[in-house]
A and B are shown apart, each in its own frame.
Chain A
Amino acid sequence: MEMQLIFFYVFAVLSVGGALSVLLFRSPVYCAMALVGTFGFLSAIFILLNSEFVAAIQLLIYAGAIMVLFLFVIMLLNLRTDKSPGLTWSLPKLLGVAVSIGILSQMIGVINSPAAKIGPKDIFSPQYLDEKGSVKVIGEILFTDYVLPFEIISVLLMVAVIGAVIIAKRHDTDSGGEG
């Protein structure tokens, strides 16, 4: 077996383990750290899939920014003793999980069926990317073919920032009460 494949399986097992720990840990901080680990393993998988740039962005935005924000909020709310149980079981919930696992088995069946053939469709082979530089190729496509979604997404970010400020702001009018 090739090295690449072995590494893929190792990181795949590790990332599934990380994801399961997010599900099972009781303390939110442990969940967050498990998720950071999962993101790290996923970015290693992205490197194996010839997407170094995506891997760097994954670490930078998910692990470096979003998860720190989660930790920050956990600290602000001071949820160190998570009194509520980690998992609660009830019939509707079990039913939901059962349905999602059923869908998973269906998805795996479809993915691995011989009818699903995924082969090279475009020109962006690893050799081509190495030659031109993957960052350059991504930049060129992002600012030509995908420039409209790019602009729209920047507006979305702007809206999100303003929205977050408005929602999280303490309103001075009710500061007399609980604050």
Chain B
Amino acid sequence: MIPVSHVLTLSAILFTIGVSGVILRRNAIVVFMCIELMLNGVNLGFIGFAYGMQSMTGVMFMFFVLIVAAAEAVIGLAIILAIFRNKGTVDIEEINLLRW
């Protein structure tokens, strides 16, 4: 039996690494990967709860998060492609048209 608190700790660590990546990285595609990492950390938390509580609710939520992640990746990558076509870069610090 794996203690649920350990699973949740791992999920929190993965989430934090994802957040740090979103803050620190400048390549838009890598930023997206870090968002996927955050979503995965959350998924792990859901599965951990499902395991500890012997419930299926966590698994269901994991599916929905997964599908939303897929939709988000598709739209996000399409946006990155469009931005690259217009600006010729994916560095998020150079994409600053709306900056004051």
Contacts and interface: CB of A to CB of B under 8 A. Distances in A.
Interface of A: 2, 4-5, 8, 12, 15-16, 19-20, 22-23, 28, 31-32, 35, 38-39, 42, 45-46, 48-51, 53-54, 57-58, 61-62, 65-66, 69-70, 73-74, 76-77, 79, 82, 84-89, 93, 96-97, 100-101, 103-104, 107-108, 111-112, 116, 118-126, 137-138, 141-142, 145-146, 149, 153, 156-157, 159-161, 163-165, 167-168, 170, 178-179
Contact of B2 (A15, A48, A51): A48
Contacts of A145: 60
A112 B5 contact: yes
B33 to A, nearest CB: 5
Contacts of B33: 22, 31-32, 35, 70
B65 to A, nearest CB: 10
A16 B63 contact: no
Closest 4 CB pairs between A and B?
A160-B71, A122-B55, A118-B52, A167-B78
B80 A73 contact: yes
Nearest to B39: A62
Contact of A23 (B24, B78, B84, B85): B24
A53 B62 CA distance: 11
A51 B47 contact: yes
Given A49-B7, A108-B12, A122-B54, A31 B30 contact: yes
Contacts of A107: 12
A112 B7 CA distance: 11
A16 B17 contact: yes
A12 B54 CA distance: 21
Interface residues of B, number: 71
16 contacts: A12-B6, A19-B14, A23-B34, A31-B33, A57-B63, A66-B36, A69-B73, A84-B91, A118-B5, A120-B53, A122-B57, A146-B60, A157-B70, A160-B70, A164-B74, A167-B82
Interface of B: 1-2, 4-10, 12-21, 23-27, 29-30, 32-34, 36-37, 40, 43-44, 47-57, 59-60, 62-64, 66-75, 77-82, 84-85, 90-91, 93
Nearest to A142: B60
Contacts of B12: 104, 107-108, 111
A79 B18 CA distance: 22
